[in-house]
Structure 1
Amino acid sequence: MPDHGPQPVERLLPTDEARDLLKLVRDLVEREIKPPAAEEEEAGRFPRESFALMSRTGLLGLPYPAEHGGGEQPYEVYLQVLEELAAARLTVGLGVSVHTLACHALAGFGSREQRKSRLPDMLGGGLLGAYCLSEPASGSDAASLRTRAVRGGDDWVIDGTKSWITHGGVADFYTVLARTGEPGPRGITAFLVPGDAEGLTAAVPERKMGMKGSPTAQLNFDGVRIPDSRRLGEEGQGFSIALAALDSGRLGIAACAVGVAQAALDEALTYTAQRHQFGRPVADFQGLRFMLADMATQIEAGRALYLSAARLRDRGEPFSRQAAMAKLFCTDAAMRVTTDAVQLLGGYGYTLDFPAERLMREAKVLQIVEGTNQIQRMVIARHLAGPESR
C-alpha cells in the first residue's frame, strides 16, 4: 500500500542558525499556537499572549538589525518562519507580517536617534504595531488619501479616518500615512503614532468571514497631536516610504498564503489516507491523487517564487515585480488549494469539525490585502510594458 499522509516540508536554509531558528518556531507552533487555533478563531479571541511570546523569543524583529534588537535574518529565512506561523494560525502569521510592515518606515527611513530610541521596544519590547494607509474612499488608489496632518509649532495635528486596519484598537503603535501638502503622492508624510494618543479611537471591529481572531477596524483621528520627532523621513516622502514597505509586505502575504495552502494539503493528505471507500484509502483513487499532485505542485511553485524574490531583496537588487508576482500567484494558489481540500474531504470539509473550511475562508482575504490581485497584475504589467500612456 502506498505511504500516505503529510511529510515535513524540506527547507533550504542558509545557516545552522537559521535551521535552529526554524526548529524553535516549529516547536513553538506545535506547543502554543496550533492547539487552540480553531477554538480561538471560532470565538474571535485575539491571541495577544502569542505575540508577547514571540516578542520575548525574538520573532517579531527577525529581518531587522541586531543593534536595534532585531534578529538580523535575511528575508529568505524570515518568510519561511512566517509560512510556518500562518500554517498553524493565519491570525498569528499575518499579524507578524503586519507588525514587520509597521516597523519598516522607522527602520528604513527614521533618523539615527529615532531608531535608537524607539526601534528596540518595537522589535522586542512586547509592543505590537499596525499600518495605516487605507481609508474609506482610498483603498487601491492610496495616493488619494484624505487624512490630514497640519503643522502647529513643533507638533503635528492629525485628523481623518483610516479603514481596514489589522490590529486596529489593540496595537501599541501605528505607522500612519497622512496628507501634509498638495494632492497626489508628493503631498504625503509618514508618522509614528502611539496607540494611546489622545483623540485616537477605534470603531467596532469588522465582522469578517475569516480571521475572526484578528481585529480589523476603522481608526478615527480627531485632533491627534504628536511631536515632529515622530515624523518619519522627510515631509512629502511618505508615499515612497509606503511603496517600499508594501513591496516587502507583499512577500509576507505570499509566504502566509503558502502556509495556509500547505496546511490545507496536509489536512487533505491525512483525511484521504484514513478515509476508506470500496475497500481501500480514497487517496489510492487516481482522480483524487491527481488533485493532490496539483495542490502540491502549486505550493512548491509558490514557495519557490517567494523565495526567489526574497533572495533578490537580500542581495539589494530590485524585487518589486517579483514581489507582485509572488503575492499574485501564491494567494491565487492558496484559494485553489483550500477549495480543493474542502472538496477532497467531501461533506466533512464543509463542517466546522475539520479545519479545511476555515482555511478556505482565510485564503480569500489574502487575495485582497496588501493590494488586490488585480492591482498586482497592474504592477507586473507596468514593469513589463511601462506605465500606460495618457
Structure 2
Amino acid sequence: MDKKFQTALIHAPRKAGQYIETIQPPLFRASTIIFRNTDALFNRHWTDDYDYSYGTHGTPTTFTLGDNIAQIEGGKYHLLTPSGLSAINLVNSCFLYQGDEVWVPDNIYGPNMEHLNYLESHYGIQVRVYNPIDVATFQPTEKAKLLWLEAAGSITLEFPDLIGLVKKARAHNILTALDNTWGAGLAFNAFDFSNEHLSVDITVHALTKYPSGGGDILMGSVITQDKALHHKLFRTHAVQGIAISGDDAALVQRSLASMQIRYQHQSNSALQLLTWLKTQEAFAQVLHSADPENISHSYWKETCQTEQSAGLVSVIFKAEYDMNAIRKFCDALKLFKLGFSWGGPVSLVMLYNLADMRHLEHSHLQQGILVRFCIGLEDADDLVADIQQALKAL
C-alpha cells in the first residue's frame, strides 16, 4: 500500500527490530498501547500479571522496576505511584471507611498524619496515636482496621517493637502497613523479620530516597505478598488514575545496582558521625537506633540482624539554645544543605520543634530543638568538620 508523505511520517515503511539485549532494560513511553488484534483486546483482564492495555496500568519499563522493588523488599505484588506520599494515601484511601479506626505511631511521617487528619474531618475515620516502643499504648477497639508502622520513626528515629505490634494487630485482625523507606528492604525483610517469620501485610516505600539515589526523582511503591490485598489496592490505584513516567522508572531502575553500596556507605558514615556527635557539649541527646544507649536499640538489634541502619542521625540541642541559635547553626553549615528528603549524594539538614509535633509524653526525649542530619556520599571526616565549624555560630 502506497502512502502519502504525511502518512509515511507516522507509519514508516521499515521498522527496526524492537528488542536487543542491553545492560539497562528498554525504555517504553506510552499512554496508548496497540493491541495486536481483537482477541488480545477482549481476552485480557486487569488482574493479569502484566496487563498491557493502557499506560496507566503499566509498561515493561514500569513492571520491571516494580518487580525489582518487590524482590528487594521480600514481597511479590507491586504498585508504583508518583511519590512516597501518594503510596501512603493509596493505602489509606483503599482500606479506611467512615467510622473505621486507624492507629499511628507518635513519630509518624508528618504528611501521613496530615492526610489522615483530612480523612478524619471529611469522612469520619478515627485517628488514634500510640507509642511505638510501648505496645501497651496500642489499644485497638473493634473498629480498628489499619495499623501504621514506621521503622525507624520519622525525625526521632525510634525503632518500634515491630514484633509485639504485629502480633497484637494479628490477634485483633487488623491490617498492618509499614513505611519501609528507612529500611529500604535492605536493613530487614518486612515480610519475614523474626524467628517466627512474622510479616507485615503491606509496605510503602518512597523510592525517591535510596532506590533513586539522585535527589531528582519522585516515586513511591506499595508492596504485598497477598494477591487479594494487591487486587484491592490495584482497583483503587486504577480508579484514581495513578500512574508514573516511564522515564522516571528507567532512572530509578538504573540506580538500583548501586543501591546497597550507597546504603551501606551512608549507614557507616552515620555511625561514624554518631560517635563524634555524642562527644559534643552542645547536644542534650543524640538519636540513632544502633546506639546501644538508645531506648529502642534492642528492637533494632532483634529486627535488623544485618546491623544496617540507614544514613540518618538526629540531635537535640540543649535547652539553652533557642530556635534563633539553631537557625544560625544550620545556616553556617557548608556541606550539609538545608532541605527535606534523604538518600541522595548530598548531605541534608533539617530542624524541628518537637513540642509542635508530638501528641504523647515521651520521657526518653530531652527538651530542646531537634536537628536531623541526612548523610550523603561525602567523606564522613569532612561532614564532622562541617558540623564542628558550624557549632561556632551558636
Specify the TM-score bucket, using the shorter chain as the normaliser. Answer: under 0.3
The structure having more radius of gyration, on CA atoms, is: 2
Whose helix proportion is higher, 1 or 2? 1
| TM-score, structure 2 as length reference | 0.23
| TM-score, structure 1 as length reference | 0.23
